[in-house]
Structure 1
Amino acid sequence: MPELPEVEITRLGLLSLIEQTVAEVVIRNGSLRWPITEHLPALIQGKTLRALTRRAKYILAHFDHGVLLMHLGMSGRICLLAQNEPAQKHDHFDIVFQNGQVLRLRDPRRFGAVLWAGAQYTQHKLLSVLGPEPLDDLFTGQYLHEHMRTRIAAIKTTVMDSHLVVGVGNIYASESLFRARIHPSTPANALSLKQCERLVAEIKATLADALKAGGSSLRDFFGADGNPGYFQQQYFVYGRTDEPCRVCSKPIVSIKQGQRSTFYCRACQKK
């Protein structure tokens, strides 16, 4: 699944669409995770895109009268194409702009989303419950420590809870915990303030490094321009089961947590 860096890279690749006017909306298959409203073409056709922002893993397209939410789901891509680019089998949704550019959602598994959130978009049920952005100043070691006092679940699954902090998915949770030298099975409420401060610092650093590398390219993810990311070449632990740790040379191990694979080093991340 594309995580925060991959979604942000996608957003950056779409910025040329800002201040462009929508000429046409094409819904080839509206049966995504939530159905695309059949009224969407009437809502945005002829309207000008004013901004593109991101909240968690959602890309927000801002128009004068409201906001369109887009989510990549498990395997989706948002591509920026020329108007004459033929649609492929899994190309379910287009926004065609008057300058000839096309924003296209390609989603083989149809777990993505295209939802009209209106003018009061921050109150939308998918956005109103989200925690702070991990790269914002609001996300600090003190914040993390205070919000984990009653949480007995493992720190790996806890830090992936979007109600606590958004955008720390499976890849970057494993990588950040390794960098912070914290065992992924440690109960969240057992972490000291110092450990929380170190973990927050490493989450921010890991995500920043991933953004610089263009994100990670796993399975179907490519940026809006079709280029892959390269952060997977820098992984310390993720997907490296039985390979030597880049720090101590001991083999990386994997376990299941919350139906997800977790990767860590027994020597560097002692419980």
Structure 2
Amino acid sequence: MDGTGAFSSEVGTGSREENALKHGTGNALEAHGLSREFGGFFAVRDVNFRLAKGSMHAVIGPNGAGKTTLFNLLTKYLMPSAGAILHDGEDVTRLAMPAMAKRGVVRSFQISAVFAGLTVRENVELALLRASGLAWNLLGRISSRRGVSEQADALVERFGLADQAQTMAGNLSYGRKRVLELATTLALEPKVLLLDEPMAGLGREDIGRVTQLIREAGQGRTVLLVEHNMNVVAELADRITVMVRGEILAEGSYAEVSARPDVMAAYTGQAHPGQAHG
């Protein structure tokens, strides 16, 4: 915020983008002049974004704000039409999602697949083996490795899934399945954890559990989440980015952005008419 109490808005320039590409910063992820066009329509337009290392950062906005498109760009699910993306100061604009995962940037509920035909414990064990570079043997059973079994038991216990450890993942409730997905994601030991609407479809009890698990997961990690549940955002995020019509409207703490009339107007449809994808 500047001295007037208004949020400053950084406008991307070619020189700043080039400087960032050359020298990098201490941020985990950065976007410089990021845009995504769909048939002449900009879902994200000239966005400058920084995800600080060790932070818990939420991206919010009304429906059609462009937040999901931004998330898809940062996680490399989509390629940008223009602009640059940096990870640890290195240009990763043209890297694909698997290459980002190898760098420790992991998108939950996308990369971390839950296999319906495996038990809860087997899913966690397989994720641990993936993190170790191992997979299946020819008999279709999970390959054994010293320490993996103990780690799997610990993760299953930590995530409150011990009583369902031998249950087939396909038989879990939706909420339990989301908890398992988060467990398998953390088994991959991500440095940067990206969560796409982790509370979607969850009941109150599961929301409380998953919120606590995300808080614990954030210890020693960088977390970016797109989330509609404002109670969860207020509880978890140290910094919030508000998007409207594919552009960043405001950034700051929950108290700061929620006090802004333009943010409230955007949510009630009184400003910034029109919509972008996501």
TM-score normalised to structure 2 length: 0.30
The one of the two structures with greater contact order (alpha-carbon pairs below 8 A, sep at least 6) is 2
Indicate the structure with greater helix content.
2
